[in-house]
Amino acid sequence: MLPVSELNLDPVFTIKLTPAKIGIGATQELGQDLKRRNLSKILLICGKNTYDRVGIAKNLVRVVEAEGIEVYVWSGVEPEPSLESIGDCIKFASELKFDAIVAVGGGSSIDTAKLINLYTTYPTHNILDYIPQPVGVGKPIPGALKPLIAIPTTSGSGSETTPTAVFKVSKDGVKFGISNEYLLPTYAIVDPINTITMPQNVTASTGLDALMHAIEAYTAKPYNMKSKPSRSDLRPVYVGSNPVTDTFAEKSIELIGKYLKRAYFNGQDLEARYGMSLASYMAGVALGNAGTHISHAISLVLGGIVDVPHGICAAITAPALLEVIANVLPEKVAKISILLGSDVEVSIKKQITKSIEVIRELLLSLKVPNGLNELGISESQIPTIAEKTLLMRRLLAQSPVEASKDVIEKILMKSIEIYEKY
């Protein structure tokens, strides 16, 4: 085999992650953190539920104002934000003067905050200007943004430590994303207390989202199997799997195997909430550098067709995905079951089968619908879904197998029903 350099493959990978303050009660230090950074006016972005019913955001306003810092609040984040709803927030924020943004909530709030930070720092008349092609114009982000502090209230999106923002394109409902290192939050506060109020169904969907982040980052095309860029600044945000992201992904999968079902069946289990908060952050580091691939690409299309949480849309194709990529990554696919707590089998083939079975069993225990059929997707829709998935180039570039239409259709067909053996 030729050395990597002779094949013009990339021998270098980069790691970027959000510094984090992690621990029970860490949220109460936000005001002190902002004051220490000489920030005097902030824009707090959250959803209505986080502000009104749960009250986490209201508490944060008190904590910040106690330090003499002025707070503006936008509590209109939608659960699945569209460009239109983001545009409303941009209009609101553009009339204010603030030094930093604090995002409180799940991935929707943090992703919205990333885009508000972008469009208020570098205003444009066309919201599609910074959105990648083929959906948008694809203009480069000019430079650094304002400080963004991300405070997750779910254990799943990992958006607090990724350079990505996902949104819904209303004209066809498909989700799309923008990835750029400038979107990476300045720092995160990961406080398990903030996740206690998650209802059971949200615990399941966000936990499965974290699991898929870890699995797909773990199985992403390796960094040294990608072409070497002509200049270092042209190296993509998602560099592919590497020893660092593998370490984060493996630990995340292990924590999810230990704590997700505990958190699901007892939301007040603070140890389980703590474990899932760590798992989500670690999976976020893995995906934010290695990237995700086929299942997440499919999920962005499914999310525009059915009103189902993103994590469910991503996880429902997991058994089929593992079956397909096991041919090229047998050791990694086999190890997933061990990381999730299964016994070691006598052969790698049996271990791979066990990995697929363990994922199915987990989905079943979390009451995930029995495949695409139960989501309301028929076999006749599969070719169209596959075609739309092919547009998700940002994600499919990380696939360890060629992400052709045939491969995507195969995964979708195998996901029509996922519990047929149970």
DSSP bridge pairs for 104: 151
φ/ψ of residue 227, rounded to 5: -65, 140
Does the reported pTM lie above 0.75? yes
Give the three-class secondary structure for 399: coil
Segment (H or E) for 83: helix 83-94
Tokens standing for residue 230: 């002509």
Each residue's pLDDT tens digit, 320-377: 999 999 999 999 999 999 999 999 988 999 999 999 999 999 999 999 999 999 999 9
The domain locations on the chain are 20-195, 200-414
Segment (H or E) for 188: strand 187-190
CB neighbours of residue 129 within 10 Å: 17
CA distances from 235 to 14, 30, 216, 230 (A): 9, 34, 20, 8
Is residue 156 a contact partner of residue 210, using CB atoms and an 8 Å limit? yes
pLDDT score of 332: 99
Is residue 252 predicted with pLDDT exceeding 50?
Answer: yes
What's the fold here for domain 200-414? Dehydroquinate synthase-like, alpha domain (1.20.1090)
pLDDT score of 51: 84
Q: Render the burial of 10-40: b for 16+ CB within 10 Å, e for the rest.
A: beebeeebbebbeeeebbeebbebbeeeebe
pLDDT score of 2: 44
Per-residue pLDDT averaged across 63-67, rounded? 97
Placement of tokens 């984040």 in the chain: 77
Is residue 42 a contact partner of residue 116, using CB atoms and an 8 Å limit? no
Out of 3.40.50.1970, 3.40.50.2300, 3.30.365.10, 3.40.50.10480, the CATH code matching 20-195 is 3.40.50.1970
DSSP-assigned states of every residue in 133-185? TTTS--PPP-S----EEEEESSSS--GGG-SEEEEE-TTT--EEEEE-GGGS-
